[in-house]
Amino acid sequence: ETTERSTSTPATVDSFKDEFLRQLRYEQGVELGTASRDDLFQALARTVRNYMVDNWLTTVETQKAAGSKVVAYLSAEYLMGPQLDNALLSTGLTDVADTALSSLGLSLDDIRATEVEPGLGNGGLGRLAACFIDSLATKNIPAIGYGIRYEYGIFRQTFVDGRQVEQPDSWLSNGTPWEIPHTDQAVEVAFGGHTEQAIDQTGRSVTRWVPGETVLAVPYNYMVPGYGTANVNTLRLWSAKATNAFNLHIFNSGDYESAVRAQTVAENISKVLYPEDSTPQGKELRLKQQYFFVAASIKDFLRTLPEGFDLKKLPERIVFQLNDTHPVIGVPELMRILVDERGLAWEDAWDITRRSFNYTCHTLLPEALEVWSVDLLGRLLPRHLEIIYRINEQFLAGIRATYPGDELRVRRMSIIQEQPERAVRMAFLATVGSTKVNGVAALHSDLLRDKVLDDFSAYWPDKFTNVTNGITPRRFVQLSNPSLANLIDDTIGTGWLNDLERLKELEPYAEDASFRKAFREVKQANKDRFVSLLAQRDGIELSSDALFDVMVKRLHEYKRQMLKLLHVVTIYDRVLKGEIKAADLTPRVVVFGAKAAPGYKMAKEIIFLINSVAKVVNNAPELEGRLRVAFPANYNVTLAEKLIPAADLSEQISLAGKEASGTGNMKFALNGALTIGTLDGANVEIHELVGGENFFLFGMTEPEVQSLSDAGYHPTSFYEGNASLRGAIDLISSGIFSGGDRTAFEFVISDLLYKDRFMVLADYQTYIEAQERVEVAYADQESWSRKAILNVARTGFFTSDRSIQDYLDRIWHAPAFPVTK
Ligand code: 26V
């Protein structure tokens, strides 16, 4: 069903200009002539925002009235990136804004550069959430994203003497024009206390949670405009505020100072995004954050249901998608509400709960799987712990019935682990409490089913499915690469941006020399653009006349930045030894971008090593004009949008079986970079789609990794058996990159030689050979362009619109609800 709606304020250049000037004068309180860049940005952003409000309110109202099924995406992270350009794109106001600003002597380009991105995520998982809400809106799905309004997002990375130093990301210091707070809609969230038995009005014995403290969750709304539709969805982020009880306490207690301090403690809940993204620390505040936003979100949704709503029909009205285990506490929370507060029978409540939740797993590394100690959970959420115990008891009874006498299996599958401490395994709770469990790429989903959760898939074969990740082409093609988007428009017409498989129509043009030339010119212009940005952003001077070889992602051992670095060092070593002539090298610019979790020592040492190598290589006269290494600090979405379109070569070199999917890999391919990669995560699907001739494949497969590991992996034997590898490692140990200090990188090097958990040395040789194939291929520019074009033409599959369609078909079953046309 569709609803007629009036179109929003007609946007003419004049009306846009008027609104902009009004914003400047009456909201910013400045004259045009004295406005700062931030004034101009705030006024412009609010002008554009106001053009979306009518559609937003219509969307929200008509969906509510229709009672359509809502997808509630629960995610602790949303890595949104800058918002202005996306808002302009979806409202179709880019040209209007450009013209209006020009007529005032202002430049849209200058103003947009002022925006501070909301970095409310660590990496892949948070950026995926941002792409998904974009696609949900574009596909007219009634959906809401729930999360946390961190006051400080992912830290700003700086380098001091080559070492990472973190600075707080105070993204809200000038306020943000994109949010609308609703203090009046705040909900209370409770913590601590104890449980007790009570008798309700009907004489039944019930359990009651008597919390020790409460905080307020204040919602901040952000509009999520769809592309090519009037639908505008909502992202609702919660901010913690001390409750009135708290404030009362302040005035009544004699101890004013400690009362104010207590207020700060309450408001700390949404203060900062945890920058750890691999080893969960079991920090109390983190669990508080998780419960805080999930409890607020569930309450928020339930209050939109009509009076007297039959809760057995809840799964027809909502589906909660758990983005990793971070929101899994929502499972016992919904049980608590249904059983303790709404008086449903346990069995009915369990049926409703299980039918309302689904779980996406984003990792394979055992150390990244969250567990919460029973001790901490019992202190913070005593009623939830009781509920988890009961869920587990019932679940294990089912296991015992199916596998009589198999107590080993029962122990393996228990939601509660006993060793090294009693703790709740959140991935197991999520699996038990959900209808569907999905991995994020074909290989990952297979490994989840057959390895990480094999007992569960044997018990519930139909519970497991795959949804391969995707990325929004609005941000990562149209906005980040307008020259390529124009070329595509000119070649196959418009309409591909929300129908990305249409890129297939580009395939024949791979054989068209004039198209290849135009395509190369786009790439060259993007390189030039990146080079000038880097000069101004970081003072890094690069030549754009080179192969751009790019590795950007969080710094993790499993992602193997060290492998890329060993390649760089190998080139230098061979030149120094005269084994190759620098003049024979293809000029290459290697770009790294990576943040390390502040407490991850190895990752930080690797950053220091990369910077140390870069400094020497960039100053080596032998390598002048042939090899440069750039490591701009603080890689983020803003930089990604400029860097990815400039890349020729995309480094996706994780050890097979470790990278769940990767999404950077998709962004590069869609922007015409060729991948050098292992058969890991979504690389497998990229390789399959673009074809082996258009992909530089190397390294062990996952089964090969498994056999090597089973047979006993000895990295030293690879070192000893490979002169080139030995040369590179010995060069690092020689002190040449550390002013003669031979021990500077011992921490990294001795780990590689004696542990090498991610088998860098085992894959070194095939990686170097693959890089040699890259050199040969790049020398033939016509052939390289052909390959690059085919990468673009064949990777339309990786639009997040397709991912969302897969979620709809396999998991959510929520119909689209367009509010217009
Ligand atoms: C993990 C953890 C672990 C517990 C402590 C807190 C915390 C915070 C964030 C994360 C996120 C790490 C998981 C993640 O980002 N996975 C990535 O998800 C991408 C989207 O599915 C996928 O493409 C990457 O391969 C996967 O590493």
Cα–Cα distance measured from residue 134 to residue 226, given in angstroms and rounded to the nearest whole number: 6
CB-ligand 1 contact for 327 (6 Å cutoff):
no
Residue of 359, 365, 459, 369 lying closest to 409 (CA atoms): 459
* Residue 65 CB partners (closer than 8 Å, separation 6+): none
Work out which ligand 1 atom sits closest to the CA atom of 127. Answer: 20
DSSP letters, 424-478, are EEHHHHHHHT-S-EEESSHHHHHHIIIIITHHHHHH-GGGEEE----B-HIIIII
CB neighbour list of residue 321: distance below 8 Å, 6 or more residues apart: 71, 72, 73, 74, 358, 360, 807, 811, 812
Question: Ligand 1: does its nearest atom lie under 6 Å from the Cβ of 123?
Answer: yes
* pLDDT for residue 215: 96
CB atoms inside a 10 Å sphere around CB 21: 16
362 lines ligand 1 (CB under 6 A): yes
To which residue do tokens 């948070």 refer?
126
With a 6 Å cutoff on the Cβ, whether 282 touches ligand 1 is: no
Distance CA 634, CA 193 (A): 42
Q: Which atom of ligand 1 is nearest to the CA of 444?
A: 25
Note the Cα 146 to chain centre separation in Å: 15
Ligand 1 center from residue 660 Cα (angstroms): 9
Residue with the nearest Cα to atom 12 of ligand 1?
A: 277
- Give the three-class secondary structure for 753: helix
Cα 267 to middle of ligand 1, angstroms:
26
The number of the ligand 1 atom at minimal distance from the alpha carbon of 659 is: 25
- Determine if ligand 1 sits within 6 Å of the CB of residue 333: no
- What are the boundaries of each domain within the chain? 1-66+92-113, 67-82+117-468+805-812, 513-796
- Mention every residue, 6+ apart, whose C-beta is less than 8 A from residue 380: 191, 192, 284, 287, 288, 291
pTM value surpassing 0.95:
yes
**Which residue of 324, 466, 683 sits with most ligand 1 atoms within 8 Å of its CB, as the best mutation to test the pocket?**
324
Count of other CB atoms within 10 angstroms of residue 130: 26
Separation in Å, CA 210 to CA 213, 310, 371? 9, 27, 25
Measured distance CA(260)–CA(111) in Å, rounded: 39
Mutation to probe ligand 1, out of 362, 469, 653 (largest number of atoms < 8 A from CB): 362
DSSP 580: S
The pLDDT of residue 507: 98
Instruction: Give 128 Cα–ligand 1 centroid separation in angstroms.
Output: 10
Atom of ligand 1 nearest to the CA of 123: 15
Q: What is the CA radius of gyration of the chain?
A: 27
User: How many Å lie between the centroid of ligand 1 and the Cα of residue 125?
Assistant: 5
Distances (CA, A) of 6 to 9, 140, 143, 228, 478: 9, 17, 22, 16, 28
Q: Say how many residues make up the chain.
A: 821
Class of domain 67-82+117-468+805-812: alpha beta
Residue 445 Cβ contacting ligand 1 at under 6 Å: no
Cα separation, 446 vs 557, in Å, equals 23
Cβ within 8 Å of residue 44, ≥6 positions away: 20, 23, 84, 97, 101, 108, 111
Cα–chain center distance at 169: 17
Q: Could you tell me if the CB of 553 is within 6 A of ligand 1?
A: no
DSSP 8-state assignment for residue 11: -
Active-site residues, by number, are 362, 553-554, 559, 663, 667
Q: Which stretch of DSSP H or E encloses residue 262? A: helix 256-267
pLDDT of residue 253: 63
- CA-nearest residue for atom 14, ligand 1, is 125
Q: How far is the CA of 77 from the centre of ligand 1 (A)?
A: 10
Cross-strand bridge partners of residue 191: 213
Q: Which of 277, 326, 658 to mutate to test the pocket of ligand 1 (most atoms within 8 A of CB)?
A: 277
How does DSSP assign 787-798, residue by residue? HHHHHHHH-GGG
Other C-beta atoms within 10 Å of 157: how many? Answer: 23
Q: What's the CA-to-centroid distance between 771 and ligand 1, angstroms? A: 29
The protein residue with its alpha carbon nearest to ligand 1, atom 8, reads: 277
Distance CA 388, CA 331 (A): 9
Q: Is the peptide bond before 420 cis (omega within 30 degrees of 0)?
A: yes
**Ligand 1 close to Cβ of residue 266 (< 6 A):** no
Q: Which ligand 1 atom sits closest to the C-alpha of 126?
A: 15
Contacts of residue 471, defined as CB under 8 A and 6 or more positions apart, other chains included, come to 131, 663, 666, 667, 670, 798, 799, 800
Position 278 scores a pLDDT of 76
Is the CB of 387 within 6 Å of ligand 1?
A: no
CATH class of the domain at 513-796: alpha beta
Rounded Cα distance, 162 and 175, in Å: 32
Euclidean distance between CA atoms 477 and 481, whole angstroms: 5
Q: Are 135 and 803 in contact (CB under 8 A)?
A: yes
C-beta 680 within 6 A of ligand 1: no
Same topology between domain 67-82+117-468+805-812 and domain 513-796: yes
Task: Encode pLDDT of 623-653 as tens digits.
Answer: 999 999 999 999 999 999 999 999 999 999 9
Is the distance from CB of 77 to CB of 122 less than 8 angstroms? yes
The partner residues of 465 in beta bridges, in order of sequence, read 438
Centroid of ligand 1 to alpha carbon of 553 (angstroms): 12
Token pair for 722: 């490979």
Query: What's the gap in Å between 369 CA and the centre of ligand 1?
Result: 10
**Is the minimum distance from the CB of 325 to ligand 1 under 6 angstroms?**
no
**What distance in Å separates the CA atoms of residue 459 and residue 577, rounded to the nearest whole number?**
59
560 CA distance to ligand 1 centroid (A)? 16
3-class DSSP state of 283: coil
In the three-class reduction of DSSP (H, G, I as helix; E, B as strand; rest coil), residue 117 is classed as coil
**Comparing C-alpha atoms, which of 133, 1, 136, 137 is closest to residue 66?**
1
Asked whether the beta carbons of 316 and 69 are under 8 A apart, the reply is yes
Helix or strand run (H / E) with residue 286: helix 284-302
CB of 439 sitting under 6 A from ligand 1: no
Cα gap 72→65, rounded to integer Å: 17
Distance of CA 698 to the CA centre of its chain: 26
Residues 6+ apart with CB under 8 A from 477: 484, 485, 497, 670, 671
For ligand 1, is residue 122 a contact (CB within 6 Å)?
yes
Q: Considering only CA atoms, which of 777, 551, 788 is closest in space to residue 677?
A: 551
Q: Chain-wide mean pLDDT for the chain? A: 96
Determine which residue's CA is closest to atom 5 belonging to ligand 1.
Answer: 280
Q: Is 426 in the pocket of ligand 1 (CB under 6 A)?
A: no
Encoded amino acid at 476, one letter? F
Contact 615, 568 (CB under 8 A): no
187-191 vs 213-225, strand pairing mode: antiparallel
Low-confidence ranges of the chain (pLDDT < 70): 1-10, 244-253, 820-821
* CA–CA separation, 572 and 627 (whole Å): 9
Pocket test for ligand 1, best of 75, 79, 125 (most atoms within 8 A of CB): 125
35, 24 Cβ separation under 8 angstroms: yes
Q: Ligand 1 pocket check: which of 75, 363, 425 to mutate, most ligand atoms within 8 Å of Cβ?
A: 363
User: Does an H or E element contain 646, and which?
Assistant: none
Query: What is the rounded distance in angstroms from the CA atom of residue 594 to the CA atom of residue 552?
Result: 6
Alpha carbon of 124 to ligand 1 centroid (Å): 6
Residue 467: how many CA atoms within 13 Å on its side-chain side? Answer: 30
Q: Is 738 helix (H, G, I), strand (E, B) or coil?
A: coil
CB of residue 124 inside a 6 A radius of ligand 1: yes
DSSP states of 356-410: HEEEE-----GGGS-EEEHHHHHHH-HHHHHHHHHHHHHHHHHHHHHSTT-HHHH
The yes/no answer to whether this complex scores an ipTM above 0.90 is yes
Helix (H, G, I), strand (E, B) or coil at 712: coil
Query: Cβ distance 73 to 145 under 8 Å?
Result: yes
SS3 at position 517 = helix
Ligand 1 nearest-atom number relative to CA 128: 20
**Contact (Cβ atoms closer than 8 angstroms) between residue 373 and residue 422:** yes
Residue with CA at minimum distance from ligand 1 atom 11: 277
**Closest approach atom of ligand 1 to CA 370:** 4
For residues 523-549, one letter each, b for 16 or more C-beta atoms within 10 angstroms of the residue's C-beta and e for the rest, the string is: bebbbebbbebbeebeebebebebbbb
- 660, 731 contact by CB (below 8 A): no
Q: Which residues of 461-471 are buried (b: 16+ CB within 10 A; e: fewer)?
A: eebbbbbbbbb
Angstrom distance (rounded) from CA 475 to CA 645: 12
370 lines ligand 1 (CB under 6 A): yes
Would the CB of 369 count as within 6 Å of ligand 1? no
Torsion over CA of 89, 91, 95 and 100, rounded to 10 degrees? -130
**652: Cβ below 6 Å to ligand 1?**
no
* Ligand 1 atom with least separation from CA of 469: 21
239: Cβ below 6 Å to ligand 1?
A: no
Type of residue numbered 790: L
pLDDT value at position 249? 59
Biggest alpha carbon–alpha carbon distance for the chain: 90
Q: Please state, in angstroms and rounded to a whole number, the distance separating the CA atoms of residues 704 and 718.
A: 16
